[in-house]
Amino acid sequence: MTRQDEWNERYAASLMNTFGPPKAVLARGMGAHVWDVDGREYVDLFGGIAVNALGHAHPALVQAVTAQLQTLGHVSNFFATSPQVELAERLLALLGTPGKVFLSNSGTEANEAALKLTRRTGRTHVVAAEGSFHGRTMGALSLTSKEAYRRPFEPLPGDVTFVPYGDSEALAAAVTDRTAAVILEPIQGEAGVLLPPAGYLADARRITSAAGALLWLDEVQTGIGRTGRWFAHHSVPELLDSPPDLVTLAKGLGGGLPIGATLATGAAADLLEPGNHGTTFGGNPVACAAALAVLQTIVHEGLLDHVEFTGKRLADAVASAPGVTEVRAVGLMIGADLDADLGPAVVDAGRDAGYLLNSTGPHTLRFVPPLVLTDDDVDVFADAWPGILRAAGEATR
């Protein structure tokens, strides 16, 4: 029995079966590489589902967290700390518009806070997109379209209408004078990296403004450099002139530490008042120090430009192999469709070859590696990729 087998037995005996058996038991990491408990090395093209922005054990992140723990680890929100205030100021500066920030612990909590905020408009109706993923808690789940996630927990709270993603006419038809908000991902991640058609997000801004509704962009996966910009919606000129009312963040913001953020602009920034919402751990100084280190490192290491360049090289490598029918990519957020339902088999074959991959559907893969993925990492994967696809095909025959 390997050490992985031993740990898997202990896992099964002690943890709730919400994720199924773990594919590997990981022990340590460095950059875009990880090692399991048996010492096997993998190139991490999964990135903790787009969380490990700086990869693993980045010195700047380690130093920031260590230094903060040596001063203050936790104080609750009865008190403020400098990392909390500095992070809120920095996020608003990056957003490029005045507003206010609520700090929490995860993407689903950032979306829960935003959902509660929309109720303060006096309206209850929310429009969301088919193919969306916004979280697993009951409020965020009510905005998530996947039936398999929703059905076991219905009835869910809220009055939610789902419309096809990218269909401006359907969106306009669904938004009425009782609509509190429209929530959209600038790029759908769980659905396999689906990009909206040109003009769609600008149409969403126009439609919500005309109806007096809030435009809420879920940038939990797309934000903090993932697409080569601080925010994916910054690629839409109309949203620079007329920004969204709400933007939610998490994942890459903490570089591996749990943190979420709800950014509100304009009148939406003052909708939540004392007593309306709260969190014990949100805005924790350690998590905020980690987030500040992530933001500073992205600047100091020129990672936005790196993401654009490296993302194109990785997307080209993925697209070049036989059996790949389509690649959708913005920065280091890449979706690939296969000509057969080999997604899970490719993940297994990739792991056997020393790569951590992710399948979001029977024939769809998602690549969201650390932003520090190197050219050498891409080159080595490009050489291995055709063999991984062949092995997956042979395993399913």
Question: Domain of 352: which CATH number?
Answer: 3.90.1150.10
- Do residues 52 and 191 both lie within one domain? no
Please give the angle made by the CA atoms of 299, 286 and 91, to the nearest 5 degrees: 40
Do 177 and 107 belong to one domain?
yes
The shares of helix, strand and coil residues in the chain, as percent rounded to the nearest 5, are 40, 20, 40
Q: Kindly state whether residue 65 falls inside one of the protein's structural domains.
A: no
Q: Which of 251, 278, 300 is where one domain is finished?
A: 300
Say whether both 156 and 275 belong to one domain.
yes
Whether residues 134 and 47 share a domain: the answer is no
Point out the residues that are catalytic: 133, 218, 251
285 and 313 assigned to the same domain: no
- As a whole number of angstroms, the longest Cα–Cα distance in the chain is 64
In a domain, 328, yes or no: yes
Domain contains 66: no
260 and 148: one domain? yes
Q: Are 140 and 115 in contact (CB under 8 A)?
A: yes
Q: Is the peptide bond before 98 cis (omega within 30 degrees of 0)?
A: no
Are 184 and 260 in the same domain? Answer: yes
Retrieve residue 326's tokens: 């389509």
Residue 161 structural domain: 72-300
Is 67 domain-assigned?
no
- One domain, residues 312 and 382: yes
CA-closest candidate to residue 253, choices 285, 301, 220, 300: 220
Residue 246 lies in a domain: yes
| Strands of the sheet with 355-356, listed across from one edge | 26-30, 33-36, 41-44, 355-356
Residue ending a domain, among 280, 300, 320, is 300
Judgement on whether residues 20 and 146 belong to the same structural domain of the protein: no
In a domain, 9, yes or no: yes
- Note whether residue 92 is domain-resident: yes
The answer to the question of residue 64 being in a domain is no
Does 307 lie in the same domain as 235?
no
CATH number at residue 196: 3.40.640.10
Ranges of residues in the chain with a pLDDT under 70 are: none
* Pair 206, 237 in one domain: yes
Quick check: pTM over 0.95? yes
Domain match, 233 and 274 both: yes
Could you tell me which residues come within 8 angstroms of residue 347 by beta carbon, excluding any fewer than 6 positions away?
23, 357, 358, 359, 365
Q: 300, 332, 365 — which closes off a domain?
A: 300
**How many domains does the chain fold into?**
2
